[in-house]
Chains A and B, each alone.
Chain A
Amino acid sequence: MAKGRSQETVIEYRDVYKAFDVPVLSGVTLSIPQGEIVAIVGPSGTGKSVLLKTTIGLIVPDRGDVLVEGESVYFGRREALREVRKKVGYVFQNAALFDSMTVFENVAFGLRDGEAKEIGREEVVRRVVKALEEVNLDPSVVLRKLPAELSGGMRKRVGLARAIVGEPDILLYDEPVTGLDPVNTAAVDQLITAIAARTGVTSLVVTHDVPGALGFCDRIALLEDGVLQFVGSPAEFRSSPNPLVQAFADREAAAALARQGLGAPA
């Protein structure tokens, strides 16, 4: 069910700092309103995934705070983190599917703790099938397969199905197209847009694929040297006089062309 857009801030990063021997995030502040798709781009190792992980406490910031739907993740109630995780679907870089579980079990695991028991087996199957269909996978083909039997592109989609099966308010994508060929990259980019349009989910996408991101996001942010060097619309990004933005866009466009030439079918 689409929630429609509002100006209500759903995710807010307040002056987030994190260092691993060297500083990675040096004061990131960003607000994301409900229903918006925000892409975070930047060179490797600049803390894009770290920022994403601070949203649900997978990495704890050294300073600063993250607010999800107005609730502080780190300085609020004790239950805040658990409740935030219930509202968030997380798509991991390498899908992070559970090796010992079938596709069905992996996707069903995305239902919140205890929910599967509450709704019963039939409803679980219905929701898993629906989630798989939504990411353009044929349930009759993949349902009983193990992750090791799937291609990279299929694994990513199963990871996405696991993230959306619980109908979250927020979707966090960590490099959803890394390692995919151009066809699968375009398919995943379309899925991000389609899911956001259908459900009204707020999406934060960490990606290297700048051309793809410019196609699907409402706003794009460049994270470099631990701070957000640019936040704006795709049109503003393209015409930005900021030398860091221009240099990064040129580098990534060249890299994207090289990847297209070398991309292997998923």
Chain B
Amino acid sequence: MGSMLGLLTDGVRAIGRVGSGVAGHAGGMGLLAWRSLTAVLSGSVAFKDFIAQAHSIGVQSIPLVLVTATLSGVVTSQQGGYQFTGAIPLYVLGSVVTSSVVLELGPVLTAIVLIGRVGARITAEIGTMQVSEQIDALYSLGRDPIPVLAAPRIFAGMIAMPALVGIANAVGFVAGMIAARLTVNLGSESFLYGARMYWHSYDFFYSMMKALAFGVIIPLISCHMGLLTRGGAEGVGRATTSSVVFMIIAVLVADALFPPLFLN
């Protein structure tokens, strides 16, 4: 009885610790988002910093996004073709590929690419600045690190992510169409016919909303975790790992919340 009570107490304590940790991070990120917004609205963010980050987050991610988008289109097309052969009219493949890419694979895979390529780098970069006192140096020189470091990255992410997802959607669609011709011999016209048949313009809007949400989540978490970094090189490694884990969980949770919120 006593051990059961002890287990229960430990369980409640653990839930309390996790809950308190999550609430602390959520509060910190809410404050960071608010301060970044006010920094942008008050004109404290240098335009050149925003452009540099948009280039780093957006333009430099294009090659990797092209690769993942192409492969996602090809794989979806091949697997759909394999399942549909002899059972469902093959032109339906056009709709399946389009919906899969636009509603799910384009935004989510691009987000995963950005988490690995951009999010981890932002946390490591800001974390290194934190442990090497560069953030303190900013404060000592009368500069607030939010307009200098966080706001340009967060708003560049908001702009770059929808653009990257737009590219991923288009490339995934074309790659899927080419793969359908090569693997199950479905012509482009039939593929396009299937794609048009079940297409809703809202799907593209939905895809862009997801992209915008992920475009906020990734730099927000990565900047937040970077600014919380303590403890030298080991601390930077720990913060980067935690940041990547949090970003993946946050993106997948947000992805799971989208259909009940926006597709019904």
- B59 within 8 Å of A (CB atoms): no
User: Which of the segments A34-42, A82-90, A193-201, A242-250 contacts the partner chain?
Assistant: A82-90
Of B132, B140, B142, which one neighbours A113 at CB under 8 angstroms? B142
- A98 within 8 Å of B (CB atoms): yes
- A96 within 8 Å of B (CB atoms): yes
Per CB-CB distance, the 5 closest pairs between chain A and chain B, nearest first, are A90-B140, A96-B133, A96-B137, A85-B142, A92-B133
- Residues of chain A within 8 A (CB-CB) of B141 are 85, 109-110, 112-113, 162, 166
- B83 within 8 Å of A (CB atoms): no
14 example contacts (A-B, Cβ-Cβ < 8 A) are as follows: A56-B139, A58-B136, A82-B142, A85-B140, A90-B137, A90-B140, A97-B134, A98-B129, A110-B141, A112-B142, A113-B141, A113-B142, A113-B143, A162-B141
Complex: how many Å from CA A99 to CA B142?
19
Of B129, B132, B139, B142, which one neighbours A94 at CB under 8 angstroms? B132
- Residues of chain A within 8 A (CB-CB) of B142 are 82, 85-86, 112-113
- Residues of chain B within 8 A (CB-CB) of A57 are 139
Query: How would residues 231 to 256 of chain A score, 1 for a CB under 8 Å from any chain B CB and 0 otherwise?
Result: 00000000000000000000000000
Complex: how many Å from CA A86 to CA B139?
10
Do residues B140 and A56 form an inter-chain contact, with CB atoms below 8 A? yes
Known: A98-B129, A98-B137, A113-B141. 4 other contacts (CB 8 A): A53-B136, A57-B139, A113-B143, A162-B141
Do residues A85 and B133 form an inter-chain contact, with CB atoms below 8 A? no
Shortest beta-carbon distance from B67 to chain A in Å: 28
Complex: how many Å from CA A118 to CA B141?
17
Complex: how many Å from CA A99 to CA B130?
12
- Residues of chain B within 8 A (CB-CB) of A166 are 141
Chain A residue nearest in CB terms to B136: A58
- Residues of chain A within 8 A (CB-CB) of B134 are 96-99
Complex: how many Å from CA A94 to CA B133?
8
B142-158 residues at the A interface, CB under 8 angstroms: 142-143
Of A93, A113, A162, which one neighbours B133 at CB under 8 angstroms? A93
Shortest beta-carbon distance from A99 to chain B in Å: 7
Do residues A85 and B136 form an inter-chain contact, with CB atoms below 8 A? no
- Chain B, interface size category, equals 10 to 19
Tell which of B133, B140, B141, B143 has the most Cβ of chain A within 10 Å.
B140
Binding site for A on B (CB under 8 A): 128-129, 132-134, 136-137, 139-143
Q: For the complex, count residues of A whose C-beta is within 8 A of B.
A: 22
Complex: how many Å from CA A113 to CA B142?
7
Chain B residue nearest in CB terms to A85: B142
- Residues of chain B within 8 A (CB-CB) of A93 are 133
- Residues of chain A within 8 A (CB-CB) of B143 are 109, 113
Do residues B137 and A92 form an inter-chain contact, with CB atoms below 8 A? yes
Do residues B140 and A88 form an inter-chain contact, with CB atoms below 8 A? yes
Shortest beta-carbon distance from B151 to chain A in Å: 15
Shortest beta-carbon distance from B263 to chain A in Å: 43
- Residues of chain B within 8 A (CB-CB) of A109 are 141, 143
Complex: how many Å from CA A85 to CA B143?
9
Chain A residue nearest in CB terms to B137: A96
- Residues of chain B within 8 A (CB-CB) of A110 are 141
Shortest beta-carbon distance from B42 to chain A in Å: 13
- Residues of chain B within 8 A (CB-CB) of A99 are 128-129, 134
Do residues A92 and B136 form an inter-chain contact, with CB atoms below 8 A? yes
Do residues B139 and A96 form an inter-chain contact, with CB atoms below 8 A? no
- Residues of chain A within 8 A (CB-CB) of B132 are 94, 96
Complex: how many Å from CA A162 to CA B138?
11
Shortest beta-carbon distance from A169 to chain B in Å: 14
- Residues of chain B within 8 A (CB-CB) of A53 are 136
- Residues of chain B within 8 A (CB-CB) of A92 are 133, 136-137, 140
Do residues A85 and B139 form an inter-chain contact, with CB atoms below 8 A? yes
Complex: how many Å from CA A99 to CA B133?
12
- Residues of chain A within 8 A (CB-CB) of B136 are 53, 58, 90, 92, 96
Shortest beta-carbon distance from A264 to chain B in Å: 20
Query: How would residues 100 to 123 of chain A score, 1 for a CB under 8 Å from any chain B CB and 0 otherwise?
Result: 000000000110110000000000
- Residues of chain A within 8 A (CB-CB) of B129 are 98-99
- Residues of chain A within 8 A (CB-CB) of B133 are 92-94, 96
Complex: how many Å from CA A113 to CA B140?
11
Tell which of A57, A82, A96, A109 has the most Cβ of chain B within 10 Å.
A96
- Residues of chain B within 8 A (CB-CB) of A94 are 132-133
Shortest beta-carbon distance from B125 to chain A in Å: 9
